[in-house]
């Protein structure tokens, strides 16, 4: 009996500790971020994205941040059935310009299907949609479209995507979709009715959620750390992106770089990387889906990435795009990452021969009609998307003038 008081006391303390560790609604469970030998939060390893998620929120999920369990189950089943059909050589996917992909069997993936719970990658604004463009951005884009009007797919070197010259991941390597800017997406080139042409069409919906308008983390990336530096190693493409973490200032604005000027720091246990001085590939928008920003002048663009470990091998990855010359406000994208150090990254070597560009241009000179037709098709596909963007920009400007 003499120990009864101690037993009761320890029981009360245990209950208090247990209650303190249970996350309340809307909170992520606490997680102790591992440290490097020199004391920095440790993010080293290979990180991959959890499935694809619509960049902007489709109308069917308006007002809803997350999918239901039933929707997750249905999307998973659809994706698994499609994956099995690929393995059997029975799934015909449709890709760029709605052309059949006869090699769809190579799209088979033996891994477990991961369907993200979020209904859009954009989490701010809360409606899951890109903020309105400024009227200046609308005018600049219309001017660029006018420049491309008489051009074909390969009228000159600027009409070819940078990837053909082994220049990839332009701008910010990990943030690879900026609306009608970087990365593939419905707002880049495909246009049309999102509900009918993507979500409702299994031929262009091989991932279970849509092909063209999706947002994901991109290729697997290895994070390497050293005192004063963080390195993003894209072993499938451009190599290494070295981020100084020693507090040095950004370069002068006149020094623009294809991979931007990056500076990093830690905000508590969160890794923060800021990108400025991004070089544009303007002045034209290639008709072939490429990574071109709406404006030629990117001097006002700032992208901020935030990596926060929310569990063992789990990262909440967010990036904020702040460009007052193009958007009326900043917007935030969120993606889930998981660690997979056993993943075998297959390198994709890139080579540009001295005759490659000349051969490409020469080939299109032999079929100018086809090149012009291709350019016009993609331009027409962009048109309905841009008209929606323009209308939204005009409404926003009208509301601000009141």
- Looking at per-residue pLDDT, the higher value among 113 and 132 belongs to 132
Helices 135-148, 368-401: inter-axial angle, 10-degree rounding = 170
Per the domain annotation, does 260 fall within a domain?
yes
Q: Tens digit of pLDDT for each residue in 5-21?
A: 433 333 433 343 333 33
Per the domain annotation, does 141 fall within a domain?
yes
Percent of the chain at pLDDT above 90? 31
Q: How many CB atoms lie within 10 A of CB 366?
A: 8
Percent of the chain at pLDDT above 70? 70
Q: Tens digit of pLDDT for each residue in 236-294?
A: 666 788 999 999 999 998 898 878 899 999 999 999 999 999 887 666 665 554 545 66
- Using an 8 Å Cβ cutoff, are 293 and 300 in contact? no
Q: Where are the alpha helices (DSSP H) in 164-281?
A: 194
Per the domain annotation, does 55 fall within a domain?
no
Per the domain annotation, does 329 fall within a domain?
yes
Structural domains of the chain, count: 1
- Tokens 């694809």: give the residue: 52
Per the domain annotation, does 115 fall within a domain?
no
Triad 349, 354, 357: Cα angle to 5°: 85
Q: Tens digit of pLDDT for each residue in 367-387?
A: 888 878 877 777 776 777 778
Q: What is the pLDDT of residue 380?
A: 74
Of 10-14, 78-82, 132-136, 343-347, the range with the lowest mean pLDDT is 10-14
Q: What is the pLDDT of residue 397?
A: 94
Per the domain annotation, does 281 fall within a domain?
yes
Per the domain annotation, does 62 fall within a domain?
no
Per the domain annotation, does 320 fall within a domain?
yes
Q: What is the pLDDT of residue 237?
A: 67
pLDDT, average across residues 333-358: 84
- Looking at per-residue pLDDT, the higher value among 57 and 46 belongs to 46
Domain that holds residue 193: 45-50+125-401
* b/e per residue 98-137 (b: at least 16 CB within 10 A): eeebeebeebeeeeebebbebbbbbbeeeebbbbbbbeeb
pLDDT, average across residues 321-325: 91
């Amino acid at each position: 009996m003499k120990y009864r008081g101690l037993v009761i006391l320890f029981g009360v303390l245990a209950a208090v500790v247990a209650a303190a560790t249970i996350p309340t609604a809307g909170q992520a469970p606490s997680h102790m971020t591992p440290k490097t030998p020199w004391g920095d939060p440790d993010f080293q390893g290979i990180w991959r994205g959890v499935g694809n998620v619509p960049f902007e929120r489709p109308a069917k999920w308006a007002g809803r941040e997350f999918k239901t369990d039933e929707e997750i189950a249905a999307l998973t089943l659809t994706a698994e059935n499609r994956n099995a059909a690929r393995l059997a050589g029975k799934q015909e996917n449709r890709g760029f310009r709605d052309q059949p992909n006869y090699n769809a069997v190579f799209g088979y993936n033996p891994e477990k299907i991961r369907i993200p719970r979020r209904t859009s990658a954009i989490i701010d604004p809360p409606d899951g949609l890109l903020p309105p463009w400024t009227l200046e951005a609308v005018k600049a884009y219309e001017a660029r479209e006018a420049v491309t009007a008489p051009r074909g797919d390969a009228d000159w070197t600027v009409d070819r995507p940078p990837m053909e010259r082994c220049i990839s991941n332009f701008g910010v390597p990990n943030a690879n979709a900026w609306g009608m800017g970087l990365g593939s997406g419905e707002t880049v080139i495909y246009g049309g009715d999102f509900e009918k042409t993507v979500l409702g069409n299994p031929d262009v919906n091989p991932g279970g959620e849509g092909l063209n308008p999706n947002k994901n983390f991109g290729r697997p990336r290895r994070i390497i750390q050293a005192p004063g530096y963080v390195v993003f190693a894209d072993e499938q493409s451009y190599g290494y992106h070295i981020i100084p973490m020693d507090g040095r200032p950004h370069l002068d604005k006149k020094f623009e770089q294809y991979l931007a000027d990056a500076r990093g720091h830690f905000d508590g246990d969160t890794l923060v990387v800021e990108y400025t001085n991004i070089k544009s590939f303007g002045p034209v928008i290639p008709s072939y889906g490429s990574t071109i920003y709406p404006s030629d002048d990117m001097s006002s663009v700032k992208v901020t990435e935030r990596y926060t470990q929310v569990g063992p091998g789990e990262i909440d990855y967010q990036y904020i795009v702040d460009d007052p010359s193009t958007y009326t406000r900043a917007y935030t994208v969120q993606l889930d990452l998981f660690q997979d150090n056993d993943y075998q990254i297959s390198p994709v070597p890139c080579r540009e021969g001295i005759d490659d560009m000349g051969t490409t241009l020469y080939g299109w000179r032999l079929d100018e009609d086809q090149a012009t037709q291709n350019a016009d098709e993609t331009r027409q596909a962009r048109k309905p998307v841009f008209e929606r963007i323009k209308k939204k920009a005009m409404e926003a400007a009208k509301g601000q003038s009141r």
